[in-house]
């Protein structure tokens, strides 16, 4: 979320644009000798209604996106994906549109509207430059629901409350429509509260403290649950109809500045660790782990560059593996992805980011179980 949408010092009206374009190819695996691309345009507009119109403690935010590409994730065939810009259906839509009001000396904040779950939950700043999707919303949560949770590129209506116990400790809870958008009409922006959609409830308690603005120091635990029930992957009733099960999960995460290269902490190394668990009876992925390092300013002459390394591993549930074997499909126990990325800040409006991913056990034919993927991201801001 931009600084001006997070309550930091800014003017009454604020606009930010960003365009990112990824090119990916493989030295081995399904993408070998093939080029795939994915691009996304973000337009964000925020209003501080207190500064603009004197509405105390009130903010509005609108975020539009336009996506295109030829589906590198689909070509690669991994459970976790390889590119966080890919969308299943190319097009333009309103991704977020919400209003927020604070109460009780800004200790309580209530928000309503279209909300990106990953803007407020499961957020680790030190993983943000990595391209692999699992370093945004982790795989065990991203896979869930009938059309995924309310994350890029489809969001749903949400009511979110946040309570600040003090400057370090915050509790957030949000209730989302259980099915983002309208699955029957994937193009454009749709708000459809369909019968049987149910809801997704998520709650997170986080502790955050940093000595300088550049440092990170955060611990968080969270839990989520769908109100709807989902088909068991194996068990059926006497008529052969899948038994309906609850769908819920928990997660824990932390990130911390491990080393400072200068007194103000603007250059240094941050580390992150994330653990997640989801119901194995109805989901492919029942456990996921993500970990990595971010080196801010790896060279003194280039203080705004970022060198990132991450590991994302997911464990496939026993019921899913049994169902896959019964269907004659590959059923690996786990999938592991390693990513190394360098974001070079060329100037104030352009960054170039070469990227390497090594993928293990992604479930394709034995000849392509492992793959080496090369990528390049072009990042424009305005």
Lowest-confidence range among 32-41, 75-84, 229-238?
75-84
pTM over 0.75: yes
What domain range includes position 19?
3-381
Please check whether residue 276 is in contact with residue 286, taking contact to mean a CB–CB distance below 8 angstroms: no
pLDDT tens for each residue of 315-347 = 999 999 999 999 988 888 999 999 999 999 999
Number of separate domains in the chain: 1
**DSSP states of 21-90:** EEEEEESSSTTBT-EEEEEEEEEEEEEEHHHHH--TTEEEEEEEEEEEE--HHHHHT-SS-S-TT--SS-
CB atoms within 10 A of CB 263: 7
| CATH code, domain with 340 | 2.40.160.180
State residue 301 phi and psi, 5-degree precision: -75, -10
pLDDT 10s digits, 109-162: 999 999 999 999 999 999 999 999 999 999 999 999 998 999 999 999 999 999
Is 95 a residue whose pLDDT tops 70? Answer: yes
């Amino acid at each position: 979320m931009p600084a001006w949408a997070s309550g930091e010092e800014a003017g009454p009206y604020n606009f930010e644009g960003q365009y990112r374009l990824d090119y990916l190819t493989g030295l081995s695996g399904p993408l070998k000798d093939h080029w795939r691309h994915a691009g996304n345009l973000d337009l964000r507009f925020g209003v501080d209604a207190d500064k603009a119109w004197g509405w105390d403690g009130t903010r509005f935010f609108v975020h539009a996106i336009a996506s295109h590409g030829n589906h590198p994730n689909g070509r690669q065939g991994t459970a976790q994906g390889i590119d966080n810009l890919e969308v299943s259906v190319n097009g333009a839509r309103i991704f977020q549109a919400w209003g927020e009001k604070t109460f009780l000396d800004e200790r309580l904040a209530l928000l309503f509207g279209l909300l990106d779950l990953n803007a407020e939950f499961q957020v680790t700043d030190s993983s943000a430059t990595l391209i692999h999707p699992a370093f945004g919303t982790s795989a065990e949560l991203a896979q869930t629901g009938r059309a995924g949770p309310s994350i890029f590129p489809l969001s749903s209506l949400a009511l979110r409350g946040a309570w600040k116990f003090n400057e370090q400790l915050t509790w957030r809870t949000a209730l989302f429509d259980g099915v983002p958008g309208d699955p029957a009409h994937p193009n454009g922006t749709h708000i459809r509260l369909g019968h049987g959609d149910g809801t997704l409830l998520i709650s997170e308690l986080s502790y955050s403290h940093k000595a300088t603005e550049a440092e990170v120091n955060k611990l968080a635990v969270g839990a989520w649950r769908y109100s709807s029930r989902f088909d068991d992957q194996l068990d059926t009733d006497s008529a052969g109809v899948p038994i309906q099960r609850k769908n819920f999960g928990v997660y824990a995460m932390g990130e911390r500045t491990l080393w400072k290269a200068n007194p103000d902490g603007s250059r240094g190394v941050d580390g992150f660790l994330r653990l997640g668990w989801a119901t194995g009876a109805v989901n492919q992925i029942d456990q996921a782990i993500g970990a990595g390092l971010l080196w801010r300013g790896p060279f003194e002459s280039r203080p705004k560059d970022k060198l990132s390394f991450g590991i994302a591993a997911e464990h496939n549930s026993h019921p899913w593996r049994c169902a896959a074997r019964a269907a004659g499909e590959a059923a690996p126990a786990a999938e592991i992805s390693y990513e190394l990325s360098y974001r070079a800040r060329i100037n104030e409006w352009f960054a170039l980011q070469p990227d390497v991913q090594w993928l293990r056990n992604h479930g394709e034919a034995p000849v392509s179980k492992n793959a080496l993927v090369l990528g390049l991201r072009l990042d424009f801001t305005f």
